[in-house]
Amino acid sequence: MAQRSNARKPRTAAPLRRTKSDARPRWVDAFLAALADTSNVAAAARAASVDVSTAYSRRRLNHEFNREWQVALCEGYDNLEMELLCRLRTGEVKPATGAKKGVRTFDNATALRLLAAHREMATRERAQRSHTGAEKIRAAIDRKVDELRRRVMEAKAQRDAATMTVAILPKPQDPA
């Protein structure tokens, strides 16, 4: 008689089936638009009237939503970068205590922190969007090397021509 094992057998993952929950919820478009505007997941969730955990869960389970999330963040990063450049050039007018006029300030610490936090992700997303084949990259490198080679050869030819001109000139005669 065979002995029964009390150990549980490991469960295997059930095959993925398409369910009603795979359909695109109404909040997704509003969430992605707000995410592109704010680069802030919590603010985007509030704007779309959805819980933050629901958005993160959908991102984890739905590859297309994850891709759209990354694109929205990348767009938000671009918007933030443009706003920062504008602030760096013009500053912000804030009311000064006791003054009738506002004072122009150039405090960008928060914007710089946001840029630093999103820079790597945005760079990676841009690289994926503008994926270039190996042949195009090699051709571009070859063109640059050929251009550098041409410049070096021209500079060498100019130096050689200048040296030959000096060597050909006759010695001045002594007026004796």
Of the candidates 43, 24, 26, 21, the residue with the CA atom closest to the CA atom of residue 34: 43
What are the counts of helices (DSSP H) followed by strands (DSSP E) for the chain? 6, 2
pLDDT (tens, 9 = 90+) of the chain, 176 residues, equals 455 545 554 444 444 444 455 578 899 999 999 999 988 999 999 999 999 999 999 999 999 999 999 999 989 888 887 887 777 677 777 777 777 787 777 666 766 776 777 787 777 777 777 776 667 777 878 888 888 889 889 988 888 877 766 555 566 676 65
What per-residue confidence (pLDDT) applies to 113? 72
Q: What is residue 36's three-state secondary structure?
A: helix
Q: What pLDDT is stored for residue 73 in this prediction?
A: 92
Query: What does the domain layout of the chain look like in residue ranges?
Result: 25-131, 134-165
Main-chain phi, psi angles of 17, to 5 degrees = -120, 145
Q: How far apart are CA 37 and CA 74, in angstroms?
A: 10
Q: Is 39 left (phi over 0), alpha (psi -120 to 50) or beta?
A: left
Please give the structure tokens belonging to residue 15.
Answer: 């095959």
- The confidence score (pLDDT) of residue 114 equals 67
First to last CA, the chain: 132
